[in-house]
Chain A
Amino acid sequence: MSGPYRIDGGAIDRGRSLAFRFDGRSLSGHPGDTLASALLANGVRLVGRSFKYHRPRGVFAAGSEEPNALVELRGGAWREPNTRATVAELFDGLEAFSQNYRGSLRRDLLAVNDLLAPFLSAGFYYKTFMWPKSFWEKVYEPVIRASAGLGRLSGEADPDSYDKGFLHCDLLIIGAGPAGLAAALAAGRSGARVILADEDFVMGGRLNAETHEVNGRSGADWAAEAVRELASMDRVRLLLRTAVTGAYDHGIYGALERRTDHLAAADGKPRQVLWRIYSKRTILAAGATERPIAFGGNDRPGVMLAGAVRAYANRFAVGAGRRVGVFTNNDDGWRTAVDLARKGVEVAAVIDARDCEPVAEVPGARALMGGRVTATRGRHGLKEVTLATGERIALDCLAVSGGWNPNVHLTCHHGGRPVWHDGIAAFVPGDRLPVGMTVAGAAGGAFNAAGTLTGGHGAAVEALDELGFSVAAGDPPGASDEATDVAPFWHVGESRGRAWLDLQNDVTVKDVEQAHREGFRSVEHLKRYTTLGMATDQGKTANVGALAIMAGQTGRSIAETGTTMFRPPYTPVPIAAFAGRSRGRDFRPTRLTPSHDWAAERGAVFVEAGAWLRAQWFPRPGETHWRQSVDREVLQTRGSVGICDVTTLGKIDIQGRDAAEFLNRIYANGFAKLAVGKVRYGLMLREDGIAYDDGTTARLGENHFIMTTTTVNAVLVFRNMEFARQCLWPGLDVHLISVTEQWAQFAVAGPNSRALLRKIVDPEHDISNEAFPFMACGEVGVCGGTPARLFRISFSGELAYEVAVPARYGEALMAALMAAGEEFGAVAYGTEALGVMRIEKGHAAANELNGQTTARMLGMQRMVSKNKDCIGNVLSERPEMNREDGLELTGFRPVDRSEELPSGAHFLATGAEAATENDEGWMTSVAWSPELGHSIGLGFIRNGHTRIGETVRAWDGLRGRDVAVEIVSAHFLDPDGERLRG
């Protein structure tokens, strides 16, 4: 038998031993143990130090509500702090460490805080570290941070993997205790699709911790049998180790499944899965949490919740003490005494705060009715309690029950407030539940086994009926109807020493009283001021007791005082689980162009453009600076021919009898009269008249157009056009479909581009200047019959084409183009060279179309046709957007040609102070022009076109630059467009 505190019975597998270590000490337990039960079995009572005062603390509860027993699990990069020992399933080789101390756990140097407690009361930080102000960042905060924080993070990247998923069901049942199991059986037998989720690693809930009988057998056996039946049903899914942590809209719930936390190693599988569960109906059968009574020294290791002591005895075969006392205000507390006595654990006394007859006969125990515990003793664990009568009783465990609180948390996630129920002296769910949710069992305030079973069954029958199932649920399981009377009792007034309310945050009764004295009347303020109910346990054992104290202070009832708002998550969810697999390289998808591998093999440097990776430039051996590569690409393209993958541009296939009319309304400029076989540049305005995208559209047939958009706006333009088609002009016959992915498209630019393409385009297609002039388009064959589209358009300002083939041929076409271009010294060029050439040519791009730009600013006001209606036409007429002294796009060059222009610089008149009121515009794009041999820029400046030749300053306060620049035409090269028409 492992551990001196093991007793008979329980649901542990005594046939196998599990070795584990706690603070380096080798111990053993059994399958079925939690770390907490195994520690208790081994007599380890001191398991950690409290958050603020570094008080010795032990295991307090037996479930996820545990406030005290926070430990670090595992080692190295796997180290996980602040884990509740009560939900950590024991496995062979588990390594656990206590936390929050300096020196050793037993001799914690920071326990000095406890001596300073009179100075560390509620609001301590707010009051103490106010002055001198400058000390906060440099002195106070580092010191506070160093001494706070409970456990330690590993400081390394989390080596585990996480995943997410989506589940669907008719009925989600949260909690597999008696109510949840009864509901699941009823629903499963009726053929409904059921998800039954429970945070524990064994289903059955309190049935495993109690000695109830269900249908004439032990509750635990009945639960096991019910689980077996459910597991055999195809439509029922059992989610063990799964906490449903949040209720979201439309019956959607969040749940965390801990898949490998109970194993020594995850073996490459996701450690945890965060589920999104879509349910038609939900039954919340989350049970109830016991609450303590506040009395002097009630935080000492050995003072535990009565229901937890019972769970350790009945389920885990552990006596939490050798000589146990019970302090209760309700009938349920007596069950602990009865069960322990039955198991042979000595029960010294049952101290019941009520003046009533003893509830049960407990062999060997004194019944002290009307009794109250006022103080405890024992340095690292309980040795003795003192009663209000002055009597002292030697105990090493005091099981405390102040009643039970229904776990209403998920009922409040949509803003519902729980309501006070006098009969059970606890909050129960209010009327405003998340849609589709009903509450059954102890979560709804039914505290006996019979009530939970019939409640769960009934809730399922009702839900199934609503969903239209023919219910084949049979009768609910039967159970004994045990007594659950309770008389509210929160705090022993005669207490000596501090009486703790929130063990995790070290909040005492006195703190709550002080907060009230200092004017904090709202529970929400109380929470923030005292830190009550914060951190991993979210005050599950603390909140209601504190409310009661607060209510007592204000003279209001608890119902009037109300609760703080419960928000998701119900139990802690690691950030890693929220991230799931979206980390590192897989943070988001990557889009690759058809020539990506080709470019990568040639050492291309890539740049992100949205989700795309585009080749930025192609370094060649000997090139040590990116500018060398870019300059070469530009010069070679302008000197001969260059090839660039432009597949990323958005492409939209537009067809329909009214396609031309549709485009006429979408674009600011006219498209109705565009001839078949021609391409036109188009500018799109937003409704407010601001230019937002541009591109070219080709007319492939009378009713067939192909539009290109900018890379970044591809989706936006498509979406806006779908909106226009479906909502603005549903009468037009026009259809849209994206073909961005369908076509691989390459720009072939430079004086030798035609010569190159003559080797690629099949000879039956005449691409001479006469047959295929500037702005021509057509369907052609390339490389001996591969279908292709050819467009004679130019972004670079050179004689240029774009050629498109189905994407599967894209990589081969890139290679074919480069091979055909070898005799011309063709280069592949990237987005940098593309950018240089478009700036040299004065073409606007995203830097210019920044959401503030009008057609007039771009010098395109004449394109906004007044002979037709189009999106943005009307609002583009607004006076402010048509000021004579408005901003206009022009070119800029440094007066001293050796200077580099600063992008983003603002224009100021010579001698003007750098102030907002003197601002004349800004530089949008700059580049080094290898053709001109100096820096060039584009920018918006007031009245630009009338100021050509004028000198102003490009002032950049960020980089500390102030450069004299000359205003010039935006068309640095070939202003008359002779090259592209050649």
Chain B
Amino acid sequence: MAESPLRARPALDGYNRSIGAVALAEVSGLALVSAAAPQGGDEAFAAALAGGLGAERPATGDSSAGDKFGARVLGMQPDQMFILFEPPDPDRPAETVSAALGGAAYVTDQTDSWAMLRVAGAGVRNALERICMLDLDDAAFPEGRVARTVMEHLAVIVLRDGADSFLLMSPRSSARSFLHAVELSVANLSQ
């Protein structure tokens, strides 16, 4: 596949900055594809996830790791998963998932819908307290948990991908406002 001559611009222009102990970095290069189970196709969908991605079907609010494409399957709603993975062909992530699942799900590319920002480091939860109404405590939101929420009026998907690390996804068009909100939250807490 020829490299596309159109230059791709990341939602946050590759933003990468540390404020105090917290590192903020745009995550680019990962693909995000939604997969919805057809009615009556739950078992086939679960089997396809296991067979095609080596991943268990997570409950809503949980995620599971697959053994292909570095995939993580996020349980977004009862009949819908988001699959976060390293795409072999960045221009055709939906096709990759569709093929892996053997047509057992309706897939839609969401890669460019969401700006992805990883915030990590000691004190990251104290910073997120300023904009995130979810309880991110270990007991309530352990590693691997995922949730949709709202921060500063913006839709956000939160994935806890480490003890002190969160992957935040928010709509691309408002990504700069979102980044500002997160940055400010970290800056307000830093010494």
Q: Which of B129-166 contact A (CB under 8 A)?
A: 129-135, 137, 139-140, 152-154
Confirm or deny: A167 has a beta carbon within 8 angstroms of a beta carbon on chain B: yes
Confirm or deny: B79 has a beta carbon within 8 angstroms of a beta carbon on chain A: yes
Q: Are A808 and B112 in contact (CB under 8 A)?
A: yes
Interface centre among A611, A782, A809 (most CB of B within 10 A): A809
**What would 13 A/B residue contacts be, using CB atoms closer than 8 Å?**
A161-B188, A273-B130, A276-B133, A278-B135, A592-B174, A703-B106, A732-B39, A741-B171, A742-B110, A783-B5, A784-B2, A787-B91, A806-B91
Residue of B nearest to A612 (CB): B173
Confirm or deny: A879 has a beta carbon within 8 angstroms of a beta carbon on chain B: no
Q: Are A785 and B172 in contact (CB under 8 A)?
A: no
Residue of A nearest to B41 (CB): A733
Q: Are A812 and B8 in contact (CB under 8 A)?
A: yes
Residue of B nearest to A591 (CB): B173
Kindly list chain B residues whose C-beta atoms are within 8 Å of the C-beta of A589.
Answer: 152-154, 174, 177-178, 181
Kindly list chain A residues whose C-beta atoms are within 8 Å of the C-beta of B130.
Answer: 163-165, 273
- 4 A-B pairs closest in CB distance: A589-B177, A655-B106, A807-B112, A735-B36
Q: Are B92 and A163 in contact (CB under 8 A)?
A: no
Docked pose: A805 CA to B11 CA in angstroms: 14
Kindly list chain B residues whose C-beta atoms are within 8 Å of the C-beta of A653.
Answer: 108
Q: Assuming A278-B135, A741-B112, A742-B110, is B36 touching A809 (CB within 8 A)?
A: no
Docked pose: A618 CA to B88 CA in angstroms: 40
Q: Are A784 and B5 in contact (CB under 8 A)?
A: yes
**What does DSSP make chain B's interface, helix, strand, loop or mixed?**
loop
Q: Which of B28-44 contact A (CB under 8 A)?
A: 34, 36, 38-40
User: How far, in Å, is B109 (CB) from chain A's closest CB?
Assistant: 6
**What does DSSP make chain A's interface, helix, strand, loop or mixed?**
mixed
Q: Assuming A163-B188, A589-B153, A739-B108, is B92 touching A787 (CB within 8 A)?
A: yes
Confirm or deny: A154 has a beta carbon within 8 angstroms of a beta carbon on chain B: no
Q: Are B4 and A784 in contact (CB under 8 A)?
A: yes
Docked pose: A937 CA to B101 CA in angstroms: 54
Docked pose: A653 CA to B112 CA in angstroms: 14
Interface centre among B111, B129, B137, B154 (most CB of A within 10 A): B129
Confirm or deny: A166 has a beta carbon within 8 angstroms of a beta carbon on chain B: yes
Q: Which of A755-789 contact B (CB under 8 A)?
A: 782-787
Kindly list chain A residues whose C-beta atoms are within 8 Å of the C-beta of B38.
Answer: 656-657, 733
Kindly list chain B residues whose C-beta atoms are within 8 Å of the C-beta of A783.
Answer: 4-6
Kindly list chain B residues whose C-beta atoms are within 8 Å of the C-beta of A735.
Answer: 36, 79-80, 106
Confirm or deny: A581 has a beta carbon within 8 angstroms of a beta carbon on chain B: yes
**B-to-A contact residues, CB < 8 Å:** 1-11, 34, 36, 38-40, 79-80, 91-92, 106, 108-114, 129-135, 137, 139-140, 152-154, 171-174, 176-178, 180-181, 184-185, 188
Kindly list chain A residues whose C-beta atoms are within 8 Å of the C-beta of B2.
Answer: 784-785
Q: Are B9 and A167 in contact (CB under 8 A)?
A: no
Docked pose: A733 CA to B36 CA in angstroms: 10
User: How far, in Å, is A591 (CB) from chain B's closest CB?
Assistant: 4
Docked pose: A739 CA to B180 CA in angstroms: 24
Among candidates A581, A703, A742, A782, residue contacting B111 with C-beta atoms closer than 8 Å = A742
Residue of A nearest to B137 (CB): A168
Among candidates B92, B108, B112, B132, residue contacting A166 with C-beta atoms closer than 8 Å = B132
Given A163-B185, A656-B106, A741-B173, 7 other A-B residues pairs in contact with their CB atoms under 8 A: A586-B180, A591-B174, A733-B40, A735-B36, A735-B79, A742-B109, A812-B9
Confirm or deny: A113 has a beta carbon within 8 angstroms of a beta carbon on chain B: no
Kindly list chain A residues whose C-beta atoms are within 8 Å of the C-beta of B154.
Answer: 589
Interface centre among A657, A735, A738, A811 (most CB of B within 10 A): A735
Kindly list chain A residues whose C-beta atoms are within 8 Å of the C-beta of B1.
Answer: 785
Confirm or deny: A328 has a beta carbon within 8 angstroms of a beta carbon on chain B: no
Confirm or deny: A409 has a beta carbon within 8 angstroms of a beta carbon on chain B: no
Docked pose: A611 CA to B36 CA in angstroms: 29
Kindly list chain B residues whose C-beta atoms are within 8 Å of the C-beta of A591.
Answer: 171, 173-174, 177
Kindly list chain A residues whose C-beta atoms are within 8 Å of the C-beta of B129.
Answer: 165-167
Kindly list chain B residues whose C-beta atoms are within 8 Å of the C-beta of A813.
Answer: 6
Among candidates A168, A738, A787, residue contacting B135 with C-beta atoms closer than 8 Å = A168
Docked pose: A647 CA to B106 CA in angstroms: 24
Q: Assuming A589-B177, A655-B108, is B39 touching A807 (CB within 8 A)?
A: no
Kindly list chain A residues whose C-beta atoms are within 8 Å of the C-beta of B184.
Answer: 581
Among candidates B9, B11, B113, B133, residue contacting A739 with C-beta atoms closer than 8 Å = B113
Confirm or deny: A193 has a beta carbon within 8 angstroms of a beta carbon on chain B: yes
User: How far, in Å, is B76 (CB) from chain A's closest CB?
Assistant: 10
Docked pose: A125 CA to B137 CA in angstroms: 55
Q: Are B5 and A807 in contact (CB under 8 A)?
A: no
Kindly list chain A residues whose C-beta atoms are within 8 Å of the C-beta of B171.
Answer: 591, 741
Kindly list chain B residues whose C-beta atoms are within 8 Å of the C-beta of A805.
Answer: 6
Docked pose: A950 CA to B3 CA in angstroms: 61
Q: Are A733 and B39 in contact (CB under 8 A)?
A: yes
Kindly list chain B residues whose C-beta atoms are within 8 Å of the C-beta of A732.
Answer: 39
Residue of B nearest to A784 (CB): B5
Residue of B nearest to A703 (CB): B106
Kindly list chain B residues whose C-beta atoms are within 8 Å of the C-beta of A166.
Answer: 129, 132-134
Residue of A nearest to B129 (CB): A165
Confirm or deny: A476 has a beta carbon within 8 angstroms of a beta carbon on chain B: no
User: How far, in Å, is B30 (CB) from chain A's closest CB?
Assistant: 12
Residue of B nearest to A744 (CB): B112
Q: Are A807 and B6 in contact (CB under 8 A)?
A: no
Q: Are B152 and A808 in contact (CB under 8 A)?
A: no
Residue of B nearest to A807 (CB): B112
Q: Which of A517-541 contact B (CB under 8 A)?
A: none
Interface centre among B3, B91, B137 (most CB of A within 10 A): B91
Q: Are A782 and B6 in contact (CB under 8 A)?
A: yes
Per-residue CB proximity of A140-171 to B under 8 Å, as 1/0? 00000000000000000000010111111000
Q: Assuming A812-B6, A812-B8, is B108 touching A592 (CB within 8 A)?
A: no
Kindly list chain A residues whose C-beta atoms are within 8 Å of the C-beta of B80.
Answer: 735, 737
Kindly list chain B residues whose C-beta atoms are within 8 Å of the C-beta of A592.
Answer: 173-174, 176
Confirm or deny: A25 has a beta carbon within 8 angstroms of a beta carbon on chain B: no
Docked pose: A783 CA to B6 CA in angstroms: 7
Docked pose: A811 CA to B11 CA in angstroms: 11
Q: Assuming A163-B188, A589-B154, A786-B6, is B176 touching A741 (CB within 8 A)?
A: no
Interface centre among B6, B39, B40, B140 (most CB of A within 10 A): B6
Docked pose: A493 CA to B129 CA in angstroms: 55
Docked pose: A593 CA to B134 CA in angstroms: 29
Kindly list chain A residues whose C-beta atoms are within 8 Å of the C-beta of B108.
Answer: 653, 655, 737, 739, 742
Docked pose: A810 CA to B7 CA in angstroms: 9
Residue of B nearest to A813 (CB): B6
Q: Which of A806-845 contact B (CB under 8 A)?
A: 806-813, 816
Kindly list chain B residues whose C-beta atoms are within 8 Å of the C-beta of A102.
Answer: none
Confirm or deny: A588 has a beta carbon within 8 angstroms of a beta carbon on chain B: yes
User: How far, in Å, is A74 (CB) from chain B's closest CB?
Assistant: 21
Confirm or deny: A14 has a beta carbon within 8 angstroms of a beta carbon on chain B: no
Among candidates B11, B137, B172, B178, residue contacting A193 with C-beta atoms closer than 8 Å = B137
Docked pose: A474 CA to B38 CA in angstroms: 57
Docked pose: A199 CA to B137 CA in angstroms: 25
Docked pose: A611 CA to B173 CA in angstroms: 10
Q: Are B39 and A590 in contact (CB under 8 A)?
A: no
Confirm or deny: A93 has a beta carbon within 8 angstroms of a beta carbon on chain B: no
Residue of B nearest to A787 (CB): B91
Kindly list chain B residues whose C-beta atoms are within 8 Å of the C-beta of A742.
Answer: 108-113
Interface centre among B79, B171, B173 (most CB of A within 10 A): B173
Docked pose: A813 CA to B1 CA in angstroms: 19
Q: Assuming A589-B153, A739-B108, is B174 touching A808 (CB within 8 A)?
A: no
Q: Assuming A737-B36, A739-B108, A741-B112, is B173 touching A593 (CB within 8 A)?
A: yes
Confirm or deny: A269 has a beta carbon within 8 angstroms of a beta carbon on chain B: yes
Q: Are A816 and B188 in contact (CB under 8 A)?
A: no
Interface centre among B4, B34, B135, B177 (most CB of A within 10 A): B4
Among candidates A278, A586, A731, A806, residue contacting B112 with C-beta atoms closer than 8 Å = A806
Docked pose: A703 CA to B108 CA in angstroms: 13
Confirm or deny: A270 has a beta carbon within 8 angstroms of a beta carbon on chain B: yes
Per-residue CB proximity of A739-754 to B under 8 Å, as 1/0? 1111100000000000
